[in-house]
């Protein structure tokens, strides 16, 4: 009989491993399997290594930028907050997982009592009796035998929530790397614009001096002097605004880095050629790479957690079996508590609870978890669609970037030659100063646009690396 009881108990405990949660099936990605094609997109080529497998140290080629990103990863308060969230979720999961196992407590207790009794000789006498009992036991209090997987489902839900916070941490890390790189590049671009403004200011000063001499000689008019001054004042205003922008760029970079950034790690100017600061990242042929993005994985873990909560809500309709038990020894003397003079004591109190009427609470809980599951299915699909749209936009930008850079560079060359010729014609008295002035303005604007275009090209590399899931490893 004892063996049958042991086998039956083991069968009950093993049955607790079952779950009433629906089987998780990853929703079909509501996006095309291949990247968009068209005039804005370059032909897709196979990728030997996915962006998610490229460490950021290999993507970032400039050693100064590498050190700034490493500083940000070590000191960023945003990243520290995310790590704290991960640790909190891990602790909550461990608390919930502990409910799968019985809680065993050890205790020692003692009682000492004195009572009065009436003697039986009819004399009405009273005698006192003094008793003492000491006991030691191990006890299990209200352990739920998980017959229908309710506790297991709650533990699974907590686990998926913890895993979701880990993916949130990875997403924060990827964003921090990308934002730090973009802030560093923005500072580089503004320093290039500052140098351009200074160069234009000096050129305008020379033009003003030349026209003033021509005015003094009676060759030029005061109109020429005032026109030359317009370029000078424009460059002067740009110099002041760009100086402010550089200070703000550094403040933004140091906020991301979490501490002051050394001057030696700051860029002096934006590089004029590709492949100096950042490597190019191939997108590959299939959009399936997006399923490994941290934000997409986060949404999937949230969906898994919602499925587990449905299992717990379903199990609430069925009986719950809880067990309270204790076993130990008791003795009238403390000295003999753990010797042969002590008596063995035990208690066993199983309880079976069956919900009969709860005012519809269980049904409402189940309906809530099912609605949450539908919500997280939509959230997952939206995360995939957003990832596809971000990547498609970055690919469209990259597909035309080379042509735009080439055209803008040619425009600067043409404007520089035009200004040289117009200035020579004005100096020789062949043409008016207005022509030279227009050429100078065109050159200045074209040079500013070229710096902006180069920044856009580098920012696009950062964006493409981020949206393809790069930055997770390394």
Instruction: Please write down the HEC assignment for all residues of 36-63.
Output: CCCCCCCCCCCCCCCHHHCCHHHHECCH
State the Cα–Cα distance between residues 158 and 169, nearest whole angstrom: 17
CB-side exposure of 196: number of CA atoms within 13 Å? 25
Residue 114, domain member (yes or no): no
* Listed residue (73, 49, 304) closest to 175, CA to CA: 73
- Could you tell me if residue 3 is inside a domain? no
CA pair distance 408, 79, nearest whole angstrom: 39
List of residues 6+ apart from 84 with CB closer than 8 A: none
Query: What pLDDT is stored for residue 11 in this prediction?
Result: 41
CA 123 to CA 31: how far, in whole Å? Answer: 101
- Which helix (H) or strand (E) segment holds residue 267: the answer is none
190 and 246 Cβ atoms separated by less than 8 Å: yes
Give 55-82 pLDDT, tens digit per residue: 999 999 999 999 999 999 999 998 899 8
CA distance 292 to 470: 10
The pLDDT, as a whole number, for residue 284 is: 87
Q: In total, how many domains does the chain have?
A: 1
d(CA 107, CA 138): 6
Characterise 44 by phi-psi region: left (phi > 0), alpha (psi -120 to 50), beta (else).
beta
Dist. CA 309–CA 19, nearest whole Å: 11
Query: How distant, in Å, are the alpha carbons of 349, 368, 450 from that of 354?
Result: 16, 22, 75
Tens-digit pLDDT profile for residues 414-436? 999 999 998 888 788 788 778 88
Domain of 372, CATH number, reads: 1.20.1600.10
Q: What's the pLDDT score for residue 186?
A: 97
Tell me if 399 is assigned to some domain: yes
Contact 424, 436 (CB under 8 A): no
- Ranges of residues in the chain with a pLDDT under 70 are 1-18, 118-125, 332-341, 474
Query: Which residues span the domain enclosing 370?
Result: 14-102+146-318+360-467
Q: Which two tokens stand for residue 39?
A: 């005039």
Which one, of 170, 185, 174, 171, lies nearest residue 56 by Cα?
174
- Is 178 part of a structural domain of the chain? yes
Residue 42 and residue 395: Cα distance in Å, rounded?
A: 8
Whether 334 is covered by a domain: the verdict is no
250 lies in a domain? yes
Give start and end residues of each alpha helix (H) in 16-119.
56-59, 63-75, 77-97
Which of these, 175, 201, 184, lies nearest to 271 by C-alpha position? Answer: 184
DSSP designation for 306 = H
Please report whether residue 234 resides in a domain: yes
Structural domain contains residue 376: yes
Task: Give residue 221's pLDDT.
Answer: 76
Specify the pLDDT at position 474: 64
């Amino acid at each position: 009989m004892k063996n049958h009881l042991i086998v039956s108990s083991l069968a009950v405990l093993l049955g607790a491993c079952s779950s009433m949660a629906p089987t998780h099936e990853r929703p079909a990605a509501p996006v095309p399997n291949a990247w968009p094609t068209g005039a804005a997109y370059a032909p897709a080529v196979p990728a030997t290594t996915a962006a998610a497998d490229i460490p950021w140290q290999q993507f970032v080629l400039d050693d100064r930028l590498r050190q700034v990103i490493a500083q940000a990863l070590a000191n960023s308060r945003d990243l520290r907050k995310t790590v704290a969230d991960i640790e909190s979720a891990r602790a909550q999961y461990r608390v919930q997982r502990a409910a799968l196992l019985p809680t065993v407590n050890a205790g020692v207790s003692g009682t000492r009592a004195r009572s009065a009794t009436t003697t039986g000789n009819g004399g009405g006498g009273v005698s006192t009796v003094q008793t003492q009992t000491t006991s030691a036991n191990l006890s299990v209090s209200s352990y739920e035998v998980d017959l229908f997987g309710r506790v297991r489902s709650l533990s699974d839900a907590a686990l998926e929530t913890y895993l979701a916070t880990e993916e949130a941490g990875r997403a924060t890390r990827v964003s921090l790397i990308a934002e730090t790189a973009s802030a560093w590049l923005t500072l580089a671009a503004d320093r290039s614009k500052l140098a351009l403004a200074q160069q234009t200011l000096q050129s305008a000063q020379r033009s003003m001096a030349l026209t003033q001499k021509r005015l003094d000689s009676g060759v030029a008019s005061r109109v020429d002097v005032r026109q030359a001054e317009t370029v000078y004042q424009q460059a002067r205003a740009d110099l002041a605004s760009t100086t402010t922008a550089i200070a703000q760029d550094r403040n933004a970079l140091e906020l991301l880095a979490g501490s002051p950034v050394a001057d030696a790690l700051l860029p002096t100017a934006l590089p004029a050629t590709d492949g100096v600061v950042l490597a190019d990242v191939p997108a590959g042929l299939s959009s399936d790479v997006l399923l490994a993005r941290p934000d997409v994985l986060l949404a999937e873990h949230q969906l898994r957690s919602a499925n587990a909560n449905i299992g717990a809500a379903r199990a609430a309709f069925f009986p719950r079996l809880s067990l309270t038990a204790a076993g130990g020894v008791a003795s009238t003397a403390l000295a003999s508590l753990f010797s042969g003079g002590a008596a063995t004591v035990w208690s066993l109190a199983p309880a079976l609870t069956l919900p009969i009427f709860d005012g519809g609470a269980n049904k409402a809980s189940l309906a809530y978890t099912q609605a949450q599951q539908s919500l997280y299915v939509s959230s997952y699909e939206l995360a995939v669609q957003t990832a596809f749209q971000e990547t498609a936009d970055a690919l469209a930008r990259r597909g035309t970037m080379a042509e735009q850079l080439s055209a803008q560079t040619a425009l600067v060359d043409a404007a520089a030659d035009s200004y040289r010729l117009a200035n020579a014609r004005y100096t020789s008295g062949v043409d008016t100063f207005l022509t030279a002035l227009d050429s100078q303005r065109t050159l200045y604007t074209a040079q500013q646009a070229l710096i902006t275009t180069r920044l856009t090209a580098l920012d696009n590399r950062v964006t493409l690396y981020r949206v393809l899931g790069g930055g997770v490893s390394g």
